[in-house]
């Protein structure tokens, strides 16, 4: 994604942000978060937010984002932690 900061600033618009403002702005457009129930956040908006954080990571570090490997399930971690006490 190209850097839109100079153009948005020159046009008097708010620059693109790299944080949870994506969700905050959506909630504010959908309801009054102080008076109404927050609507369910769509998978598309969650994905857009994740992409915002990935882009921020890549811009800050200069490195491509590589997701970590999936963590073992809680059940597997508990069994592993207790293995030495449960050994035959």
d(CA 57, CA 68): 14
Q: Mean pLDDT in the chain? A: 86
For residue 48, what are the domain limits? 5-85
Number of domains in the chain: 1
Q: What is the dihedral of CA 13, 16, 21, 24, to 10 degrees?
A: 50
pLDDT at 9 over 90: no
pLDDT at 19 over 80: no
Q: What is the dihedral of CA 52, 57, 60, 66, to 10 degrees?
A: -140
pLDDT at 88 over 80: no
The pTM score is 0.56
d(CA 7, CA 14): 10
**Residue 57 contacts by C-beta under 8 Å, 6 or more apart in sequence?**
63, 65
Over residues 12-30, mean pLDDT: 80
* pLDDT tens-digit readout, 27-57: 999 999 899 999 999 999 999 888 988 988 9
What per-residue confidence (pLDDT) applies to 18?
A: 63
């Amino acid at each position: 994604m190209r850097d839109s900061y100079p153009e948005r600033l020159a046009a008097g618009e708010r620059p693109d942000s790299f944080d949870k403002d994506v969700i905050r702005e959506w909630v504010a457009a959908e309801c009054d978060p102080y008076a109404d129930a927050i609507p369910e956040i769509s998978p598309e908006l969650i994905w857009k937010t994740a992409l915002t954080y990935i882009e921020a990571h890549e811009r800050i570090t200069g490195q491509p984002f590589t997701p970590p490997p999936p963590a073992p399930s809680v059940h597997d971690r508990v069994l592993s932690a207790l293995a030495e006490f449960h050994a035959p």
